[in-house]
Amino acid sequence: MTHFVLVDDAYGELIDVRTYCSDFCAQGDNAYAGWNGANEVEFDTTCDGCGSEVKGIDGPYPDA
Task: Report the distance separating Cα 11 and Cα 14, nearest Å.
Answer: 9
β pairing state of 14-20 and 3-8: antiparallel
Against a cut of 0.85, is the pTM above it?
no
Query: In angstroms, how far is CA 61 from the centroid of its own chain?
Result: 21
For 31-58, write each residue's pLDDT tens digit. 999 999 999 998 899 999 999 999 998 7
Residue 19 has what pLDDT? 96
Amino acid at 22: S
